[in-house]
Amino acid sequence: MDDRHQAARLRLEDAVLREPAHLEPDVRAALASRRDVPEDLRALAEKVAREAYRVTDEDVDRLRSRYSEDEIFEAVVSVALGAARDRLDAAWRALEDA
């Protein structure tokens, strides 16, 4: 199937995961793939990826002593991007199998 949005999606992924930011690119990539996620970010990463609607102020507050607001934001965006990418890949596979 033709992915007419592939170029734009790849530019977005590059901007979120590889452009200069507050969190290092390797941390953002780990969060997006949910592999080798720093231990203190694991609970938030799993919650954002699976049940983002359940993230609370308390979840974020637990990280504020170690991470800045910008770093927490970048972590959440990286995880959300990875989760969206996983769901898109699953949808493409389902369409190909149909």
Span 41-65, mean pLDDT?
A: 96
Kindly report the average pLDDT of the chain as a whole number: 95
Does the structure show a pLDDT above 80 at 67? Answer: yes
Report yes or no on 50 lying in a domain. Answer: yes
For residue 1, tell me if it sits in a domain: no
Task: Look up residue 23 and give its two tokens.
Answer: 């969190």
- pLDDT at residue 48 in the model: 97
Confidence band, pLDDT 50/70/90 cuts, at residue 80: very high
The boundaries of the domain holding residue 17 are 6-97
What pLDDT, on a 0 to 100 scale, did the predictor assign at position 98?
Answer: 81
Q: What is the token pair recorded at 62?
A: 């637990």
pLDDT at position 21 is 97
Number of domains, the chain: 1
Residue spans of alpha helices (H) in the chain: 6-17, 25-33, 39-51, 57-61, 69-97
Neighbours of 85 (CB within 10 A): 15
The predicted pLDDT at position 96 comes to 87
The pLDDT score that the predictor gives to residue 64 is 96
Return the C-alpha torsion angle 23, 24, 25, 31, nearest 10: -60
46 closest CA partner among 5, 4, 96, 82 = 82
Residue 46 lies inside a defined structural domain of this protein = yes
